[in-house]
């Protein structure tokens, strides 16, 4: 982890402002700020990730994917980029790429195993292998660190069971 210095503090302040602008629906201002951050801090993944999130929310999946790839290249240790990118790959039925990406995410120092197993479960659910999906959602529950993760995985397990005709 990077030590807190004035450059890092300035970046954290500026990314926070951009994220606040997104939450407040000041999208144009947020995009301009994020592009400025990309120029000033090319080694930081967060601006690319935030641009990816915005593009995805506006149904611009190709642009989102491009930004997630840039985020991973800028900082290969920035975990959120992996799961956001994996989600797009899964939705586009690019399962081999998603699996490789998730396997790479498992090697990161700062990772959330529950999220990784959740996306593996989602991938198998999309592939139609609900037994394997349920197994991964159960692994995600075992690695969960909060009730929200547990609840989400339980919902997906129930959805898989409904797909199989269980009650």
Residues in the chain: 167
Residues 54 and 125 in one domain: no
Round to whole Å and give the CA distance between 75 and 7. Answer: 17
DSSP symbol at 4? -
pLDDT confidence of 2, banded at 50, 70, 90? low
Please write the tens of the pLDDT for every residue from 116-163.
Answer: 999 999 999 999 999 999 999 999 999 998 999 999 999 999 999 998
Which whole number is the average pLDDT over 68-72?
98
Residues 129 and 71 in one domain: no
Q: What's the mean per-residue pLDDT of the chain?
A: 93
Q: Is the pLDDT of residue 1 over 90?
A: no
Where among 106, 121, 141 does a domain terminate? 106
Whether residue 28 lies inside any domain: the answer is: yes
Contacts 24+ apart (CB under 8 A), 75-82: 75/43, 75/44, 75/45, 76/108, 77/108, 77/109, 77/110, 78/45, 78/46, 78/49, 79/105, 79/108, 79/110, 79/111, 79/112, 79/115, 80/49, 81/45, 81/48, 81/49, 81/52, 82/108
Residues 101 and 123 in one domain: no
State the total domains in the chain.
Answer: 2
CB 124 within 8 A of CB 140: no
Q: What is the model's pLDDT at position 6? A: 87
Please write the tens of the pLDDT for every residue from 75-100.
Answer: 999 999 999 999 999 999 999 999 99
DSSP string, 48-75: HHHHHHHHHHTT-HHHHHHHHHHHHHH-
Please write the tens of the pLDDT for every residue from 8-37.
Answer: 899 999 999 999 999 999 999 999 999 999
Q: Where are the beta strands (DSSP E) in 38-140?
A: none
Whether residue 78 lies inside any domain: the answer is: yes
Residues 32 and 101 in one domain: yes
Distances (CA, A) of 124 to 88, 131, 158: 14, 8, 14
Q: Which domain holds residue 144?
A: 112-167
pLDDT confidence of 167, banded at 50, 70, 90? very low
Whether residue 1 lies inside any domain: the answer is: no
Distance from the first to the final alpha carbon of the chain: 47
Residues 156 and 100 in one domain: no
List the CATH number of the domain containing 22: 1.25.40.10
Q: Is the pLDDT of residue 38 over 50?
A: yes
pLDDT confidence of 3, banded at 50, 70, 90? low
Residues 99 and 147 in one domain: no
Where among 65, 81, 106 does a domain terminate? 106
Which whole number is the average pLDDT over 45-71?
96
Residues 91 and 39 in one domain: yes
Percent of the chain predicted with pLDDT > 70: 96
Q: What is the model's pLDDT at position 5? A: 87
């Amino acid at each position: 982890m990077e030590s807190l210095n004035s450059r890092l503090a300035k970046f954290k302040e500026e990314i926070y402002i951009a994220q606040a602008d997104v939450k407040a629906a000041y999208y144009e201002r947020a995009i301009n700020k994020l592009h400025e951050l990309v120029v000033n801090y090319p080694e930081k993944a967060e601006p690319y990730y935030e641009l990816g999130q915005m593009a995805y929310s506006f149904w611009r999946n190709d642009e989102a994917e491009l930004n997630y790839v840039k985020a991973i290249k800028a900082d290969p240790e920035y975990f959120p980029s992996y799961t956001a990118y994996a989600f797009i790959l899964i939705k586009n039925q690019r399962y081999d790429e998603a699996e490789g990406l998730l396997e790479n995410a498992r090697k990161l120092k700062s990772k959330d195993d529950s999220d990784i197993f959740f996306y593996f479960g989602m991938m198998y659910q999309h592939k139609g292998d609900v037994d394997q999906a349920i197994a991964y959602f159960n692994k995600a529950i075992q690695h969960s660190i909060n009730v929200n993760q547990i609840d989400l995985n339980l919902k997906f397990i129930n959805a898989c069971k409904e797909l199989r005709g269980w009650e």
